[in-house]
Structure 1
Amino acid sequence: METTQLEALKRLWVIAQGTSGQCRRVAGFLLCLYNGQRFPFDMTEFRGLDSDIFKDCLQVLILDYNPKKEIHELLNLSSNDFEKLAIDWQIEAKNN
């Protein structure tokens, strides 16, 4: 795991705690990595991100390509933290 990718993940987590539309998009992206079946992500949402944030998303995708740990574990968080993120942003989980 590259330090650059982990730093990008940490930055995205901080952004996801914000209040702007970009923050909601980042939250949706992270939730998709957490559980893509429950929280699908429309990749056209990337178009609404600033370039630097989009590049961080790409770094995190590389990190998650062959994961050694789950996304929440890489952040030293619990699954409850990601579930709360979904609740805070009112991103509904899909029932499969």
Structure 2
Amino acid sequence: MNDSLINALSQVWAYQRRRPAIIRSGTQALNRLIPIALSRTPAGNTVGHFLLGLYDGATFRFNLKHLHGLALSEFEDCIRVLEMDYMPEVEVHQRIDQGESVWKELMEVWRTQPQEYVGHRLANQRNAALCPQRSREIKTDGIRAFDNLIHVVEASTGQSLIAGLFLMSLIHPHHYRLNLTDLRGLDLRLFEDCLSLLRMDYFTHAEGRTP
């Protein structure tokens, strides 16, 4: 057994040990996001389309840049739910009571509404919540993740298309909206790279909005 296979298996085993905690955290985050998603607000628009994208990613393709308009707590809850939805035991709407009814209501509220974006919302609050050391860690992880994803795209592997679409959805979001469920097709390391890059993108944007 070669070293790369051993490392991959070790990552999967470690992830499976963390999985119960990921589900608990993701379910709690989902329950916090539902009332926001049902509100007719800019944040509700973004969170509503995000949750619908996890339910039916082909129909509800998501503009990742709209995450910039969320408060830090809302953004982190979206990341927790996205992490929970990787290798899902059940579909996202089955994680909560009366999920079918909730998602039906989400579709009634947001199916015909365009995704909106409020770029200046709560930028200063985001910066205040992030210490300099954590900011450096997020940037370091994000740069490393970007390099890894670029390498995968250039290598033309079986996961290159998903990685490429993810990157293009960050670079040209108006032309490349992401099917969020496609991220399930990435291996664990690449999926976690996507999360790292999303965090760097969010906080880099927030810092750029600081007066």
TM-score tier by shorter-chain length is: 0.7 to 0.9
Any gaps of 5 or more consecutive residues in structure 2? 1-19, 115-211
TM-score by length of 2: 0.41
| Alpha-carbon distance in 2 for matches of 1:91, 1:68 | 30
Match of 2:46 in 1: 25
CA contact (8 A) 1:34 1:71 kept: yes
Post-superposition CA distance 1:23-73 (Å, at most 9, x none): 110000000000000111110110110111000000001100111111111
Q: With CA pairs under 8 Å and 6+ residues apart, which has the higher RCO, 1 or 2?
A: 1
Count matched residues. Answer: 91
Distance 1:81 1:14 in 2: 10
- RMSD after superposition: 1.5
Q: Determine if the alignment matches structure 1 residue 50 to structure 2 residue 62.
A: no
- 2: CA distance, partners of 1:62 / 1:85: 21
- TM-score normalized with structure 1 length: 0.85
Deviation at 1:84, TM superposition (A): 2.8
Identical aligned pairs, as a percentage?
32
**Which consecutive aligned stretches of 4+ in structure 1 deviate over 3 angstroms post-superposition?**
none
Computing the radius of gyration from Cα coordinates, the structure with the larger value is 2
CA distance in 2, matches of 1:88, 1:81: 11
1:70 aligns with 2:91: yes
Aligned to 2:29: 8
Structure 1: segments with no counterpart, 5+ residues: none
